[in-house]
Structure 1
């Protein structure tokens, strides 16, 4: 099977169209939708062990999206700064193991977007409720930038902001629906990105919320 960008599509993925955003960046529409039942159970399992929480930025601001993590490393922030940790600072226990369904979607999506060999060791789970947002930022707490970032959208639709290499660069405003996966790396790896304030609504998967999985290679 071949996607619209001419890449070979893995059989793990459902049919859907692909959109190239820039060199090294692509949206795979509906890529994860067929695995929603497995993902719902996996998210429930992870967040039972590492509950959602609103983290604090180094500047003292409460983040509007609630967060959890799974994998060998978890991304966290507080007054001491942004960083990856092996243990959940709230429980003192290692972050929950990354569910196979998360890893499989990320690996196959990365390969479909021409990033073979992706091996994520960290998955940040964000829960957005109406009004929550994520300001423009770069993902640069990882040890190196060779691996891509894979972002899976679930639940309510959202507007993804995809900017340039400078915060002041104009951002594309891209609608994301349940099951869409965005992959960016190589020349696009350090582009600024974010999420516009979430609009009210309800979705069978997540109720009045959007869930987002962001998978990375932290170490």
Structure 2
């Protein structure tokens, strides 16, 4: 059972737990036992999330996935469940997570003032590095958190990180993706990509001897 449970990431299981608590409350109110669950019960539960709790399509779809994972009946591939989810989609279509985006030029303008790198304090050096990594690599926050200086290769044009831990975007049969960050052109002397060797040397005291992870911000951001 532990191996089956490990088929989902811990973050996914945490998201499922809130739906399962609602399902258990629904079963308690409806006097439904675990071994007597029918697809009609599942349909009534999902429809209640839509009509009574006014949850979004994505939240209800997550609840469907949770039931499909934990119950011993076919949920995800059931024809009636699929039609119900299509009806929810049509009546309450998903909306973009963000309606507006911030102008990246604002943060780049600020980072240009944080120079020269040799005189920066550790917190600013760290935040400059993390922001430039995020902008140049377009990686998830989880991936940035997993970057390690002992899994890094620097070339004249880019810095490559080899991530050997399980990430959200990993899939069976696919090789472990590497994180790449392009360096700024050397003609822009004031805005050169921070030297990782400098960061590694400058942050070695705060890091544990056995930990080669890149440091996080040292102040609230």
TM-score, normalised to structure 1's length? 0.22
TM-score, normalised to structure 2's length? 0.22
Structure holding more strand per residue? 1
Bigger RCO (CA 8 Å, 6+ sep): 1
Structure with higher Rg: it is 2
